[in-house]
């Protein structure tokens, strides 16, 4: 009896475990309870309020989770828990159902959910029990849900006559641009399929007209959540001015709208008016299909947008690979039929990536097209600066879009290699894998990176294996998916082969993404540039919110914002007040700098207020550096984004005088101006007018419209090139040195990376015994160290003033630069040149990857130390201030004398 009882107990436990596995939250046939918060509030759900759908933002959110105090999950556990916590494919709005108490009109009813359920209940099992939800805000949690969950919103929005005409024009314009006639594979198109669409000013009036009509027609459906909800930022939904990534500005296309729209006159509110363009009220209120649907779960990268959930699923599968026989994936009723076909196995790495999407093509698309199987569907963002809307260029054949193809290749590449990478770096993080792959550096080499995916496709996905895995998973999916027809196993094999062939033909001919060479920071230079800066951005609120938001978004997205790179503060250019507190998170800007906040800010530029604020900020920073014994290692920049304000004569005199004070008190601080109108009016307020003053034209001005990225490229490169400051922290902001000695800090450089440093003569002006600057190797890799007194970015292969550059390689040894008498012959500090130093990483990663401490951005970083011995504190700031005060008093006396 005891034996029977034990067996019964074991069977019951096994049954409960099975039921528990099937009852995982994200495989339920309704929106998972943990994800309901993203649909219950119109404010949270509203697309224009969401965090930008970019890879940088996804990496930031993952890194925030990884940095949670006490967080212990490894890369496999985190990938699985994130997918189970935030991903649920196929969620769409129910037509004709409105939000009410107890009813949320969303459910996973689209075709993507069937594959999702099979994957997460049988091939990628797990749960999100240990995910640290409290680490993220509701905005951040919902951003992850919307980034990782795939679905297609096919509802008619009312803007199709504008949006879809743009997409069709792009599709017709796919004319190859030949970069190299000898290498046809390097030809790229001047159509960037997933970048942004052109601005259409009619969109605001169309949406406004739709809302007016919907107030009159109770049957009209809401554009997004609530029929009466206003969009807090309609202008955000508009596309940018040109296709990003194309150096040549594009002409604005002619909108395919009615005559009312073309004239630019407001649409009349007429009770008899039943259409907007070719979209009728019946279309809006019904279950009609949009001509350019919105695809969800897409994130932007410069090398083509991807389905983020697929990429993470590939990583998760690669960390726990399974090859499962068909009979173990099928229900008991289907096992008899499975025995009649050739034994097959499903590899979860393929099912989670390419073969999973191809199976949907094989079952849902192939049977209805008779030997004309099509894969791929291009799309475009409303904007690539803070993108939130991704529109597809077609309404049919959407079982495998371009974003799914890219993600399938990426996910399979990562799945295939992740186990080997993890064996080399035991503490490898999920954020590090994504950060390496979606960059120019690649994962431990310059081959496995997203800009090479098209070339790597045939290597990672051999055709025979791709066919076999597609047939195998199609067979499984056929038993799970509700379809309007029944097909035989022979047909499944035939359709799978057709789908596989279609994909193999589509990728080299139509997946036109930017190449690695086309997106290099410096052409023909493989160097990886990383920015580390304390950046203060002053915004003139006279700019429209859309323009200011776009400019700052693009700058921050390009400057390695995060704890490994740039820290930023946003301030008002009129009163100097802080808008966004000093932070290392991109999300803080996007969640804080709203149109409502922008409208409340005073307009214009007041240089005295800006300078006073900068003096306060820099004093606080230098005091903190003294207290924490920090040598800095970041550049210090103040960027003014100015509209058309001019500077008065009094403010000009103030600025010129106080720039002298800054030069003495904060020698590393650089002011940059990004200005509308004539930027030359700020030439007197910078160190180098050729490098530090930039024009900024209205983003939608003229017949040729400049993209944000094209305009901002020079200022971003200027910030990237600014050397990192090295300071003697004993000086503080008052330049009073109470003791002498040695100070050091650890720094990191990656393979093919280079760090540039500058030490001002304020720290070594007078003669001093044993005064030196040292780079101490820690044996992580062989590093190349160069220094110069005249070349700002000294490098071993430099062609600029090579005689004035000295270089040497180090490993565990040190590179010493004697500064005991470095300003001999100079009577004043300003004439003595600074010391410029570069530390360059090896061309290839070291054989042993050692960088596992929290300060390592990547596992193959090389650690070294910057050491200052016996530096001084030399500044004539007190004399400068006294002379300025004396000059001001004399001016006052002269003025009083004239009055008398």
Angle between the N-to-C axes of helices 430-437 and 402-424, in degrees from 0 to 180, rounded to the nearest 10: 120
**Structure-block tokens of residue 284:** 């809006």
Q: How many residues does the chain have?
A: 900
Is a pLDDT exceeding 60 seen at residue 882?
no
More confident position, 228 or 224: 224
Is a pLDDT exceeding 90 seen at residue 720?
yes
Mean pLDDT (whole number) for 664-688: 94
**pLDDT tens figures, 330-368:** 765 555 454 555 678 999 999 999 999 999 999 999 888
Among the listed residues 286, 269, 267, the one whose alpha carbon sits nearest the alpha carbon of residue 277: 267
Work out the pLDDT band at 169, boundaries 50, 70, 90: low
Tell me the β-bridge partners of 784: 809, 840
Among the listed residues 416, 386, 155, 189, the one whose alpha carbon sits nearest the alpha carbon of residue 288: 155
Work out the pLDDT band at 196, boundaries 50, 70, 90: low
Work out the pLDDT band at 99, boundaries 50, 70, 90: confident
Is a pLDDT exceeding 50 seen at residue 271?
no
Is a pLDDT exceeding 60 seen at residue 39?
yes
Spatial separation of the C-alpha atoms in residues 718 and 245, rounded to whole Å: 19
Contact 615, 636 (CB under 8 A): no
* Residue 215, pLDDT score: 52
Among the listed residues 363, 406, 376, 369, the one whose alpha carbon sits nearest the alpha carbon of residue 496: 363
Spatial separation of the C-alpha atoms in residues 402 and 307, rounded to whole Å: 9
Spatial separation of the C-alpha atoms in residues 637 and 571, rounded to whole Å: 13
Residue 814: burial class (beta carbons within 10 Å; 0-12, 13-18, 19+): middle
* Residue 813, pLDDT score: 97
- Which of 204-208, 241-245, 465-469 is least confident? 241-245
- Which of 72-81, 251-260, 648-657, 850-859 is least confident? 251-260
Contact 790, 866 (CB under 8 A): no
More confident position, 384 or 311: 311
Mean pLDDT (whole number) for 538-542: 97
* Residue 174, pLDDT score: 40
State pTM to two decimals: 0.85
Three-state DSSP string of 577-615: CEEEEEECCHHHHHHHCCHHHHHCCCCCCCHHHHHHHHH
* Residue 129, pLDDT score: 92
- Which of 38-52, 256-270, 474-488 is least confident? 256-270
- Which of 277-291, 389-403, 481-495 is least confident? 277-291
Half-sphere exposure at residue 597, Cβ-oriented, CA atoms within 13 angstroms: 16
* Residue 16, pLDDT score: 35
Contact 686, 673 (CB under 8 A): yes
* Residue 567, pLDDT score: 97
Burial 64-90 (b: 16+ CB within 10 A, else e): bbbeeeeeebebbbbbbbbbbbbbbbb
Mean pLDDT (whole number) for 375-391: 91
Which domains are present in the chain?
11-159+287-507 (no CATH), 533-726 (3.40.50.410), 741-878 (2.60.120)
More confident position, 754 or 230: 754
Among the listed residues 749, 753, 729, 743, the one whose alpha carbon sits nearest the alpha carbon of residue 864: 749
Among the listed residues 381, 386, 384, 379, the one whose alpha carbon sits nearest the alpha carbon of residue 401: 379
User: What is the distance between the terminal CA atoms of the chain, rounded to a whole angstrom?
Assistant: 119
φ/ψ of residue 369, rounded to 5: -120, -5
Mean pLDDT (whole number) for 410-438: 97
CA distances from residue 384 to 237, 589, 612 in whole angstroms, order as listed = 11, 16, 35
Contact 308, 335 (CB under 8 A): no
Work out the pLDDT band at 239, boundaries 50, 70, 90: very low
More confident position, 797 or 188: 797
Please identify which residue in the block is written with the tokens 């002409």: 251
Among the listed residues 482, 513, 497, 263, the one whose alpha carbon sits nearest the alpha carbon of residue 409: 513
Longest dimension (CA), the chain: 119
More confident position, 237 or 354: 354
CA angle 201, 202, 205 (to 5 degrees): 115
Work out the pLDDT band at 700, boundaries 50, 70, 90: low
**pLDDT tens figures, 437-486:** 999 999 999 999 999 999 999 999 999 999 999 999 999 999 999 888 89
Contact 145, 86 (CB under 8 A): yes
Is a pLDDT exceeding 90 seen at residue 416?
yes
* Residue 883, pLDDT score: 45
Please identify which residue in the block is written with the tokens 């994957």: 119
Please report which helix (H) or strand (E) contains residue 422, including its range: helix 402-424
DSSP 3-state assignment of 103?
strand
Mean pLDDT (whole number) for 67-95: 95
Is a pLDDT exceeding 60 seen at residue 801?
yes
How is residue 388 annotated by DSSP? Answer: -
Among the listed residues 856, 810, 890, the one whose alpha carbon sits nearest the alpha carbon of residue 426: 856
Spatial separation of the C-alpha atoms in residues 550 and 235, rounded to whole Å: 11
How is residue 35 annotated by DSSP? Answer: G
Mean pLDDT (whole number) for 189-203: 42
* Residue 287, pLDDT score: 52
Contact 409, 453 (CB under 8 A): yes
Please identify which residue in the block is written with the tokens 């802080």: 578
DSSP 3-state assignment of 744?
strand
Express as a percent the part of the chain with pLDDT over 90. Answer: 67
* Residue 209, pLDDT score: 52
Three-state DSSP string of 48-76: HHCCCCEHHHHHHHHHHHHCCCCCCCCHH
Spatial separation of the C-alpha atoms in residues 179 and 206, rounded to whole Å: 41
* CA dihedral over 562, 564, 566, 568, signed as positive or negative: positive
The pLDDT mean for the chain works out to 83
* Residue 783, pLDDT score: 97
Please report which helix (H) or strand (E) contains residue 456, including its range: helix 453-460
DSSP secondary structure, 749-786, as one string = E-TTBEEEEEE-GGGT-S--TT-EEEEEE-SSS-EEEE
**pLDDT tens figures, 273-297:** 233 233 333 334 445 789 999 999 9
Spatial separation of the C-alpha atoms in residues 443 and 433, rounded to whole Å: 7
């Amino acid at each position: 009896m005891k034996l029977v009882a034990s067996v019964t107990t074991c069977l019951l436990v096994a049954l409960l475990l099975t039921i528990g596995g099937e009852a995982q939250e994200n495989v339920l046939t309704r929106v998972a309870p943990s994800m309901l918060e993203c649909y219950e509030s119109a404010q949270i759900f509203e697309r224009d309020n969401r965090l930008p759908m970019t890879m940088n933002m996804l990496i930031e959110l993952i890194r925030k989770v990884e940095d949670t105090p006490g967080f212990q999950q490894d890369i496999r556990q985190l990938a699985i828990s994130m997918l189970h916590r935030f991903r649920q494919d196929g969620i769409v709005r129910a037509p004709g159902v409105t939000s009410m108490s107890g009813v949320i009109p969303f459910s996973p009813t689209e075709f993507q959910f069937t594959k999702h359920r099979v994957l997460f209940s049988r091939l990628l099992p797990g749960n999100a029990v240990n995910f640290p939800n409290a680490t993220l805000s509701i905005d951040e949690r919902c951003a992850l849900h919307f980034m990782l969950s795939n679905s297609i919103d096919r509802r008619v929005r009312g803007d199709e006559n504008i949006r879809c005409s743009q997409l069709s024009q792009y599709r017709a314009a796919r004319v190859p641009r030949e970069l190299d006639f000898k290498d046809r594979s390097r030809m790229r198109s001047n159509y960037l399929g997933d970048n942004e669409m052109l601005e259409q000013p009619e969109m605001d009036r169309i949406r406004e007209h739709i809302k007016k009509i919907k107030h009159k027609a109770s049957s009209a459906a809401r554009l997004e959540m609530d029929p009466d909800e206003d969009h807090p930022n309609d202008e955000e939904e508009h596309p940018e001015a040109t296709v990003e990534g194309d150096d040549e500005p594009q002409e604005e296309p002619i909108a395919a709208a009615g005559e009312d729209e073309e004239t630019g006159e407001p649409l009349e509110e007429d009770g008899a008016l039943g259409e907007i363009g070719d979209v009728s009220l019946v279309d809006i209120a019904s279950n009609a299909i949009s001509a350019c649907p919105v695809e969800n779960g897409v994130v932007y990268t410069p090398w083509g947008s991807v389905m983020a959930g697929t990429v993470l699923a590939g990583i998760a599968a690669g960390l726990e690979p399974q090859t499962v026989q068909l009979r173990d994936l099928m229900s008991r009723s289907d096992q008899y039929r499975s025995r009649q076909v050739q034994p097959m196995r499903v590899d979860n790495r393929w099912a989670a990536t390419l073969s999973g999407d191809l199976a949907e093509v094989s079952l849902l698309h192939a049977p209805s097209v008779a030997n004309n199987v099509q894969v791929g569907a291009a799309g475009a963002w409303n904007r690539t600066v803070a993108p939130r809307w991704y529109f597809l260029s077609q309404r049919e054949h959407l079982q495998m879009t371009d974003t799914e193809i890219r993600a399938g290749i990426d996910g399979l590449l990562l799945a295939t290699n992740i186990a080997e990478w993890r064996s080399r770096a035991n503490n490898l993080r999920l954020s590090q894998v994504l950060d390496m792959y979606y960059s120019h550096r690649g994962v431990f080499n310059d081959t496995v990176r997203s800009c090479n995916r098209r070339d790597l496709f045939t290597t990672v996905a051999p055709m025979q294996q791709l066919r076999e895995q597609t047939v195998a998973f199609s067979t499984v999916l056929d038993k799970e998916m509700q379809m309007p027809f029944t097909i035989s196993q022979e047909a499944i094999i035939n359709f799978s082969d057709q789908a596989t062939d279609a994909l193999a033909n589509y990728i080299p001919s139509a997946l036109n993404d930017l190449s690695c060479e086309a997106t290099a920071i410096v052409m023909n230079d493989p160097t990886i540039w990383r920015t580390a800066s304390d950046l203060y951005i002053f915004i003139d609120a006279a700019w429209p919110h859309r323009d200011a938001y776009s400019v700052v978004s693009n700058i921050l997205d390009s400057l390695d914002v995060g704890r490994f790179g740039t820290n930023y503060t946003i301030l008002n250019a009129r009163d100097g007040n802080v808008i966004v507190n000093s932070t290392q998170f991109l999300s803080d800007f996007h969640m804080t700098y709203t149109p409502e906040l922008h409208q409340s800010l005073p307009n214009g530029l007041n240089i005295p207020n800006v300078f006073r604020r900068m003096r306060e900020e820099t004093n606080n920073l230098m005091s903190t550096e003294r207290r924490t014994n920090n040598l800095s290692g970041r550049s210090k920049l103040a960027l003014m984004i100015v509209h058309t304000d001019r500077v008065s004569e009094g403010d000009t005199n103030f600025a010129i005088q106080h720039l002298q004070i800054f030069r003495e008190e904060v020698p590393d601080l650089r002011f940059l101006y990004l200005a509308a109108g004539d930027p030359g009016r700020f030439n007197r307020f910078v160190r180098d007018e050729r490098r530090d003053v930039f024009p900024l034209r209205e983003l939608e001005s003229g017949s040729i419209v400049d993209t944000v990225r094209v305009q901002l490229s020079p200022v971003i490169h200027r910030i990237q090139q600014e050397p990192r400051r090295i300071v003697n922290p004993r000086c503080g902001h008052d330049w009073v040195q109470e003791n002498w000695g040695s100070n050091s800090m650890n720094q990191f450089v990656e393979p093919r990376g280079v760090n540039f440093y500058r030490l001002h003569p304020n720290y070594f002006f007078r003669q001093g015994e044993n005064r030196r600057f040292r780079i101490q190797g820690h044996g992580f890799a062989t590093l190349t160290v160069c220094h110069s007194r005249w070349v700002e970015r000294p490098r071993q292969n430099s062609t600029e003033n090579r005689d004035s550059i000295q270089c040497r390689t180090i490993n565990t040894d040190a590179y010493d630069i004697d500064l005991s008498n470095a300003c001999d012959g100079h009577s004043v500090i300003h004439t003595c040149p600074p010391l410029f130093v570069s530390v360059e990483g090896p061309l290839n990663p070291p054989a042993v990857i050692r960088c596992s401490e929290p300060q390592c951005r990547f596992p193959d970083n090389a650690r070294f130390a910057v050491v200052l011995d016996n530096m001084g504190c030399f500044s004539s700031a007190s004399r400068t201030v006294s002379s300025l005060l004396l000059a001001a008093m004399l001016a006052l006396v002269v003025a009083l004398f004239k009055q008398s």
